[in-house]
Amino acid sequence: MAAQQTLWAQFLQPLIRSLLDEQALQAFYESKDWQTEGDRFRNPDLTYPDYYAGQNFHGITDGYLNPGAAVSYDPITQYVLPPNEDWVRQALIDAIGGQPRRILDLGCGTGSQTLRLKQAFPSAAVTGLDLSPYMLVMADDKAATAGCNITWRHGLAEATGLAANSVDLITIALLFHETPPAIAQAILHECFRLLVPGGQVAIVDGRQAALRSVEWLNRVFEEPHIQAYAAGDLDTWLRNANFQAIRAQEFWWLHQITVAQKPLLAASPAPATASGHWAAAV
Ligand SMILES: C[S@@+](CC[C@H](N)C(=O)[O-])C[C@H]1O[C@@H](n2cnc3c(N)ncnc32)[C@H](O)[C@@H]1O
């Protein structure tokens, strides 16, 4: 793990170093053959888009395609979701209505939200999808430790390849501030296609209005797409994708939790474009 390149090293390390067991993290990192582990999930047909592969997220070279990012993700995240990570993640679960039977967590990362979903809805079939095979390695490790049966899938949230009308609930936690708005819009079109009529999408991320007022913080966190995300409006993106019953709630000023529904009488989804991406109008 190239410690000097991480956000942890550059900004958070002085603050939280004393709270972390760095030796244990380093030992964990060295305990895995990342190529082999990643191959357990890697989809060889996947082409990484430039907004993802060509970027350094959080100051980490190669972003989430660097296994070091996967190892340091949870230790950092617990300190960057005020007032605390558990409350933010539980607030998303509390916003979900009913008892979904098939759940898809897009941009699932190390599975922190995915595991909580499985624990909240134990009889549901839960799938986590992410573009980084190394994040999926970490997610699978955590699921095994917790005894959670979750399917992990390496793929693009905006072109999942999953069947239309096949999911009751889609969750999206902390993904949209890391994608260009056109991709966030494309992901919502894909959600509409995947959901059954009456199905829900539930999203937690930085509150866009709040982020617009703390531009300096966005620079500190070295997020390549966060300014564009902050300038946008999730409710508008949901309406563009034909979602209804949009309910947005502010959570501890910095976060927004939004739930929306695919109408019960929704028309059949339009076909994807030749590239597999939805024609996005943002
Ligand atoms: C900030 S992390 C959030 C992870 C997790 N949802 C959580 O709540 O901790 C963003 C994740 O989105 C993934 N990601 C980014 N763009 C993606 C895309 N287009 N399709 C699928 N995953 C994507 C990254 O690999 C990363 O794991």
Lowest mean pLDDT among 69-83, 149-163, 240-254: 69-83
> Is residue 277, in this structure, part of any structural domain at all?
no
What per-residue confidence (pLDDT) applies to 268?
57
Distance, in Å, from the CA atom of 90 to the CA atom of 225, rounded to the nearest integer, reads 26
Residue 226 covered by a domain: yes
| 34/121 same-domain check | no
Residue 271, in any domain of the structure: no
241 pLDDT exceeds 90?
A: yes
Domain end, chosen from 13, 46, 77, is at 77
Is 18 in the same domain as 90?
no
Q: What single DSSP character describes residue 11?
A: I
Q: At what angle do helices 22-31 and 67-77 cross, to 10 degrees?
A: 150
Query: Of 77, 97, 115, at which residue does a domain stop?
Result: 77
CA of 265 to the centre of ligand 1 (A): 31
Is the Cβ atom of 109 under 6 angstroms away from ligand 1?
yes
Q: For residue 185, give the CATH number of its domain.
A: 3.40.50.150
Residue 273 lies in a domain: no
As for how many domains the chain has, the answer is 2
- pLDDT tens digits, 31-70: 999 999 999 999 999 999 999 986 666 656 678 999 988 9
Best of 178, 183, 204 to mutate for ligand 1, by most ligand atoms within 8 A of CB? Answer: 178
Ligand 1 atom with the shortest distance to the CA of 57: 1
Residue nearest to atom 14 of ligand 1 (CA): 107
**Contact call for residues 205 and 177 (beta carbons, < 8 A):** yes
2 pLDDT more than 50: no
Same domain, 104 and 191: yes
Domain final position from 77, 105, 140 = 77
CA 101–ligand 1 middle distance (angstroms): 23
Q: Is there a single domain that holds both residue 120 and residue 45?
A: no
Most informative mutation of 131, 222, 275 for ligand 1 (most atoms within 8 A of CB) = 131
Give the torsion through C-alpha atoms of 71, 73, 76, 79, to 10 deg. Answer: -140
**Statement to judge: residues 108 and 159 lie in one domain:** yes
On whether both 129 and 72 belong to a single domain, the answer is: no
Q: What's residue 281's pLDDT? A: 28
pLDDT at 14 > cutoff 70: no
Cα–Cα distance measured from residue 256 to residue 159, given in angstroms and rounded to the nearest whole number: 25
Determine whether 240 is exposed, middle or buried from the number of CB atoms within 10 Å of its CB (0-12, 13-18, 19+): middle
Dump pLDDT digits (tens) for 119-131: 999 999 999 999 9
Give yes or no for residue 63 CB within 6 A of ligand 1.
no
Q: Which domain holds residue 146?
A: 86-261
Whether 67 and 137 share a structural domain: no
Assess if residue 282 is contained within a domain.
no
At 251-280, the pLDDT tens digits run: 999 999 999 999 998 765 554 443 433 333
Average pLDDT of the chain to the nearest whole number: 88
Q: Which of 1-15, 60-74, 115-129 has the lowest mean pLDDT?
A: 1-15
Instruction: Find out whether the beta carbon of 117 lies less than 6 Å from any atom of ligand 1.
Output: no
Residues 20 and 126 in one domain: no
Q: Locate the ligand 1 atom nearest the alpha carbon of residue 111 and give its number.
A: 5
Q: Is 184 in the pocket of ligand 1 (CB under 6 A)?
A: no
Radius of gyration from C-alpha coordinates of the chain? 18
Please give the average per-residue pLDDT across 157-172, as a whole number: 98
Do 92 and 231 have their domain in common? Answer: yes
| Per-residue pLDDT, 165 | 98
